[in-house]
């Protein structure tokens, strides 16, 4: 089940306005160009910003997400009618073949067990054409991004059409081994509604991630910086062998 931040209708509808800075997608669009991908599967597509952006360029795009509320938002966007939307996880994918699979933002870190991650990579390998590429990012554990996950740093107050003023922030709850848990809180000032969303991410090391990809038959071709967050992210480029 998806976290409330993606699954609750109110939170899905305001998500883009709270996360409006998506300069990270420029790098992924460059990767699409670099590998001359014409068919792209975006796993964890959320509200469909990247999928619609690629569809506008004439790409064949599949957007996959377990959060129905987010997909409903995605379907209202320009060029959404050119995207094949699938409600589910990678394990629910029908038979298809693509040149490139992407997982932007924190998607690759929501798989908390090694078994979940292994099964997801196996599903990705099945849909990649020989020579196809998997591109995704994970936060560097050593950067300790969670130290900035507090109200003082993350607080936002946004005036949103149809909703009025909404405030939101994140609070760190727990750091244990590779797992970091946190809670988003949103307050809708018009009616006083308070909605929270709890999340946990798994911070795998560079060595762990590289090994897992190799064992899945998707050896790492390159590990890059995220241009918009230098020193904070690993961007993995893995390829299915020909």
The answer to whether the CB of 149 falls within 8 A of the CB of 157 is no
- Residue 22's pLDDT is what? 83
pTM of the model: 0.97
Q: Which of 185, 194, 240 minimizes the C-alpha distance to 217?
A: 240
- Residue 1's pLDDT is what? 73
- Supply the DSSP string of 145-182, one letter for each residue: GGGG-SHHHH-EEEEETTTEEEEEEEEEEEEETTEEEE
Q: Which residues in the chain come in under a pLDDT of 50?
A: none
Percentage of the chain modeled with pLDDT above 70: 100
């Amino acid at each position: 089940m998806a976290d409330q931040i993606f699954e609750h209708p109110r939170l899905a509808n305001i998500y883009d306005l709270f996360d409006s800075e998506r300069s990270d997608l420029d790098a992924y669009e460059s990767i699409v160009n670099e590998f001359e991908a014409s068919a792209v599967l975006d796993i964890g597509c959320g509200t469909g910003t990247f999928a619609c952006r690629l569809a506008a360029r004439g790409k064949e795009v599949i957007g996959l997400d377990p959060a129905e509320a987010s997909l409903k938002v995605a379907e209202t966007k320009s060029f959404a009618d050119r995207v094949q939307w699938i409600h589910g996880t990678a394990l629910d994918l029908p038979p298809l073949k693509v040149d490139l699979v992407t997982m932007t933002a924190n998607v690759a870190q929501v798989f908390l067990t090694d078994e979940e991650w292994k099964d997801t990579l196996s599903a990705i390998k099945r849909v990649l054409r020989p020579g196809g590429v998997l591109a995704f990012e994970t936060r560097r554990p050593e950067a300790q991004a969670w130290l900035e996950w507090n109200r003082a740093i993350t607080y936002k107050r946004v005036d949103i059409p149809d909703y009025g003023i909404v405030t939101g922030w994140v609070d760190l709850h727990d750091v244990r081994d590779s797992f970091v848990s946190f809670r988003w809180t949103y307050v809708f000032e018009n009616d006083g509604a308070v909605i929270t969303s709890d999340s946990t991410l798994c911070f795998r090391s560079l060595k762990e991630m590289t090994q897992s990809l190799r064992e899945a038959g998707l050896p790492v071709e390159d590990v890059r910086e995220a241009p918009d967050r230098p020193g904070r992210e690993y961007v993995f480029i893995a390829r299915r062998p020909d």
